[in-house]
Structure 1
Amino acid sequence: MWVNLENILLNECVRSFCKAGNLKRAETVIIDGIRLGVLPDVVTFNTLINGYGRLISIEAAYAVLGRMAEAGMEPDVVSYNSLIACAARRRLFENAFQLFDEMLERNVNPDVWSFNTLMHCFFELRQPVEAYRMLDSIKSLGMTPVPATYNILINGLCKNGYASKALGLFRYLKEQRFDPDVVTYNVLIDGLCKAGKLGAARRALRECEASGKVANAVTYTTMMKCWFKSKKLNQGLRVLEEMKSKGYTYDGFGYCTALGALLKVGRIEQAASFREEMITNGIELDLVSYNTLMNLSCKEGKLDEADNWIDEMGRKGLEFDEYTNTIIVDGLRKAGNIEAARQHLMTMSMSGFDSTSAATNSVIDGLGKAGKFDLAWRMTESMEGRDSFTYSSLVYNLSKAGRLGCAKELLLSCAREGIRILPAAKQAVLNGLQRAGFQADARKLRKAIRYFQMIKL
């Protein structure tokens, strides 16, 4: 009895350190336990397999099987399930299948979770027929599918373009007295939304409510994001108001989803009212929330307020991410402080951040608007992720500055290379040539662009 209690304590310590990401301490606990006469058991090694698989690699996790053999132990289904799950997380699907075969060769009987993970692998490989066969395997071996089995099926069918079949499966399961929980509804609603079946998703939400299930923030936020993505902003905002009016659990993620959508369409005042409501309600702010609020402050031209959000992030110990830095750069550029924006971009690089193309494009655009084309071009040439926005910005600003020759040559060069230039930038060059009296050049340029577009098809 005491030995069992000691092993339970050992395993709990190992589990805690693995969960905290401290494998070194977990190994130290095992060594100390051996010195005290408490030997690791299968649970101990399974905990290590999961820890090494999650934090290091599939190879490191598999090596634990060798240590089990040295200790005179055989791996069980939990050991292999952890290894298969690790391979699936790292998208090493062939490894997952090989591990499953090895498990069978060693006479370790798979359980429902073994087949659930394989089902997920087949869906990720876009092999829905093979994935569905895993359900048949579960039933043929006399096992009972668990709710997660059906969640994986519904999600996988939706992701593979079979949203109607997923909905049909859901209806069939309900007829067979399967009682879906809110997680299953969330999976179905998310899949239907991503498939563009917003009406069916809305009906699923109503059904969830009618069944007495407590829809959570994930349910409503999923619906909101889908309405926003479909450019149906008012419907998305109605979902938000409905969620609040019914007293459902609500958090900063929902507010930030709405704020982000409003900012994209330029509804700054409405976004600001949501910000005030968010702060008044005492919503706990995370990094995403601060980034959204900073973005709003910058769009309002309130750089001092944005600085306050930065200070508050620092007091909470939140570290900037690349999006935070991009917001800062863009805010400085829009305020006309292009040199400060450029310096912040350089600081990002020196601090180990990969400067995003959005941040660099913002600075290049600011330099172009300030007429500093030599510096803008040097930044463009040093930039790894040049895209259509990079070149479109240069073409547009060159034409607006009256440097039509340079704008025309750059536009032609991009056309030859198959780089898409935004219509507004292209039209700015053509309009500039026509206003300057070079109608013939404008016609030749338009003809050349069409020619290069045709040969690139």
Structure 2
Amino acid sequence: MWKIFSTKSLNICLVSLCRVKQLKKAELVLIDGIKLGILPDVVTYNTLIAGYCRLLGIDTGYSIIGRMKEAGIHPDIITYNTLLSSACRSRLVSRCLDLFEEMLEEGIFPDIRSYNILMHCFLKSGKPDEAYNVFKDIFLKEITPSPGTYNIMINGLCKNGYVDNALRLLRTLQRNGFTPGVVTYNILIDGLSKSRKHRRARGLLKEMLEAGQSPNAITYTSVMKSCFKNGMLEEGLEIFSEMQKKGYTFDGFAYCTVTGALLKGGKVKEANECIGNMFKVGIDLDMVCFNTLVNIYCKEGKFEDALKLLGEAEERGLQCDDYTHSILIDGLCKVGCIKLAQKYLKNMKMLGLETNLVAMNSFIDGVCKHGHIDHALQVFESMKVKDAFTYSSIVRGLCRAERYKLAAKLLHSCVTKGAQILRSDKKAVMRGLRYSGSLAEAKKFQKNIRLAKILYY
């Protein structure tokens, strides 16, 4: 019966098991296969290496090479590219370089994928100069680059803040016969948009159309978001309308982006119509989309609209989560509705939701800013978990109330617990102690903070 099985069948089984994260079962299948006389090949071990790298990390994946050699099977380029990809995901530049060196020692010459991975690793690690050296090395070694090679380099430059360099690289490549596709244009348009270079992004979109490339939804969305960020509401809405005319489908996030821009532009009626259109076209909004819209309404101070929207979410069978309540608490505190914000804090406990640190920090910050420092201190003392922002809110509140000595004491206790403090908070306390005439207290505070940092950091 087992004679119908082959190494290929074994490899298919291993691929399936690795995809569903069943590495132990994959090992058992391999052992059973060997017992039945089905010998593994390089593909078998490469499959295991990919599974171990993805689930347990590069060290575990690399250990399989020893087993390969014991079985008389030599690693190939796919083996090392898999390991390089794993090292790249963890931004292990030195490990990538070691693997390159090992490949050459084994007589395995890196291919374009190997160079692409190394280049990508340098760019992810914030080393564009080293990545560019790899890029040049590809041409010096007369290896034919792929479109992905150019896109990785251009995308990496944009992500590292070198958008102008990325655009210059594109022009150089075009002069040497490279024809950019939609992906390349999208990368640059997105990079220019995020760098607030709106006109150049629009110019690149025009160039794209003139070159006969068809922009997709990603292209238009990038330009549209850029318009909204630069206060060009009408122009952004024109692009949105153009997308609708061309029949592009929108997800909830796209509609939320447009709704947010309309609200910021004071067009509440149009924003509500946009939300209505979402429901009409049958977009199935999840709680993340509702939270995004609620956050937009709260920032604009439109709490009634936010609560109506939450009612709509509940009618659709969605449950408000701790993030929803955090948004409402933050918005209410900013406009001084402290009692209502406290009510939502209590509701979180009643509903069995976790009162998260973001909600508590927002509440303390709001209470302090509206002068209820003693109330804020009570809430602060009741908190089991605190971070630098918790301490910052209460310290700033105490400084506004000119209670500098207590602020100094709290900051010192923060450091003794091994937590980081904001430099601006330390300066505010020092300034307050000096201006209030407590020069000795200021010197003592500075000395205690320095000593605590040495002992506890």
For the aligned pair, the TM-score class normalised by the smaller chain equals 0.7 to 0.9
Q: Does the Cα contact within 8 Å between 1:332 and 1:341 map onto a contact in 2?
A: no
Q: For 1:181 and 1:169, how far apart are their aligned partners in 2?
A: 15
Q: Does the Cα contact within 8 Å between 2:286 and 2:318 map onto a contact in 1?
A: no
Q: For 2:350 and 2:105, how far apart are their aligned partners in 1?
A: 56
Q: Are 2:5 and 1:11 equivalent residues in the alignment?
A: no
Q: TM-score, normalised by structure 1?
A: 0.75
Counterpart amino acid of 2:188? L
Q: 2:388 aligns with which of 385, 388, 391?
A: 385
Q: Are 2:118 and 1:109 equivalent residues in the alignment?
A: no
Q: Which residue number corresponds to residue 429 of structure 1? A: none
Q: Which residue number corresponds to residue 309 of structure 1? A: 313
Q: Are 2:356 and 1:355 equivalent residues in the alignment?
A: yes
Q: Which residue number corresponds to residue 419 of structure 1? A: 424
Deviation at 1:154, TM superposition (A): 0.9
Q: Does the Cα contact within 8 Å between 2:154 and 2:188 map onto a contact in 1?
A: yes
Q: Which residue number corresponds to residue 100 of structure 1? A: 100
Counterpart amino acid of 2:110? P
* Structure 2 counterparts to residues 10-49 of structure 1, below 5 A: 10-49=10-49
Q: Which residue number corresponds to residue 437 of structure 1? A: none
Q: Does the Cα contact within 8 Å between 1:49 and 1:61 map onto a contact in 2?
A: yes
* Structure 2 counterparts to residues 89-238 of structure 1, below 5 A: 89-238=89-238
**Gap change, CA 1:153 and 1:368, over 3 Å in 2:** closer
Q: Which residue number corresponds to residue 337 of structure 1? A: 340
**Gap change, CA 1:296 and 1:15, over 3 Å in 2:** same
**Gap change, CA 1:232 and 1:344, over 3 Å in 2:** farther
Partner of 2:144: helix, strand, or coil? coil
Q: For 1:176 and 1:390, how far apart are their aligned partners in 2?
A: 57
Could you tell which deviates more after superposition, 202-211 or 30-39?
Answer: 30-39
Q: Does the Cα contact within 8 Å between 1:215 and 1:248 map onto a contact in 2?
A: no
Any idea what the Cα deviations from partners look like across 1:411-433, whole Å, max 9, x if unmatched? 9958x985369xxxxxxxxxxxx
Deviation at 1:144, TM superposition (A): 1.0
Partner of 1:118: helix, strand, or coil? helix
Deviation at 1:151, TM superposition (A): 0.6
Counterpart amino acid of 1:139? F
Could you tell which deviates more after superposition, 124-133 or 180-189?
Answer: 124-133
Q: Which residue number corresponds to residue 252 of structure 2? A: 252
Deviation at 1:43, TM superposition (A): 1.9
> What is the identity percentage for the equivalent residue pairs of Structure 1 and Structure 2?
42
Q: Does the Cα contact within 8 Å between 1:157 and 1:163 map onto a contact in 2?
A: yes
**Gap change, CA 1:239 and 1:412, over 3 Å in 2:** farther
CA RMSD across the alignment: 4.3
Q: Does the Cα contact within 8 Å between 2:348 and 2:355 map onto a contact in 1?
A: no
Q: Which residue number corresponds to residue 239 of structure 1? A: 239
Any idea what the Cα deviations from partners look like across 1:171-190, whole Å, max 9, x if unmatched? 23223332222111111112
Could you tell which deviates more after superposition, 117-126 or 22-31?
Answer: 22-31
Any idea what the Cα deviations from partners look like across 1:319-341, whole Å, max 9, x if unmatched? 95x64453354478769533443
**Gap change, CA 1:406 and 1:133, over 3 Å in 2:** closer
Q: Which residue number corresponds to residue 434 of structure 1? A: none
Q: Which residue number corresponds to residue 80 of structure 1? A: 80
Matched residues, number = 416
Q: Does the Cα contact within 8 Å between 1:186 and 1:219 map onto a contact in 2?
A: yes
Could you tell which deviates more after superposition, 365-374 or 249-258?
Answer: 365-374
Q: For 1:260 and 1:21, how far apart are their aligned partners in 2?
A: 40
Q: Does the Cα contact within 8 Å between 1:294 and 1:309 map onto a contact in 2?
A: no
Q: For 1:270 and 1:391, how far apart are their aligned partners in 2?
A: 40
Q: Does the Cα contact within 8 Å between 1:361 and 1:389 map onto a contact in 2?
A: no
Q: For 1:13 and 1:336, how far apart are their aligned partners in 2?
A: 61
Q: Does the Cα contact within 8 Å between 2:158 and 2:166 map onto a contact in 1?
A: yes
Q: For 2:213 and 2:349, how far apart are their aligned partners in 1?
A: 51
Deviation at 1:148, TM superposition (A): 0.8
Any idea what the Cα deviations from partners look like across 1:152-194, whole Å, max 9, x if unmatched? 1112222344322221221232233322221111111122223
Q: For 1:157 and 1:199, how far apart are their aligned partners in 2?
A: 20
Counterpart amino acid of 1:303? L
Give the gaps of 5 or more residues in structure 2. Answer: 412-421, 427-431, 447-457
Give the gaps of 5 or more residues in structure 1. Answer: 396-404, 422-440
Deviation at 1:149, TM superposition (A): 0.3
Q: Does the Cα contact within 8 Å between 2:291 and 2:324 map onto a contact in 1?
A: yes
Deviation at 1:116, TM superposition (A): 0.7
Q: Are 2:412 and 1:407 equivalent residues in the alignment?
A: no
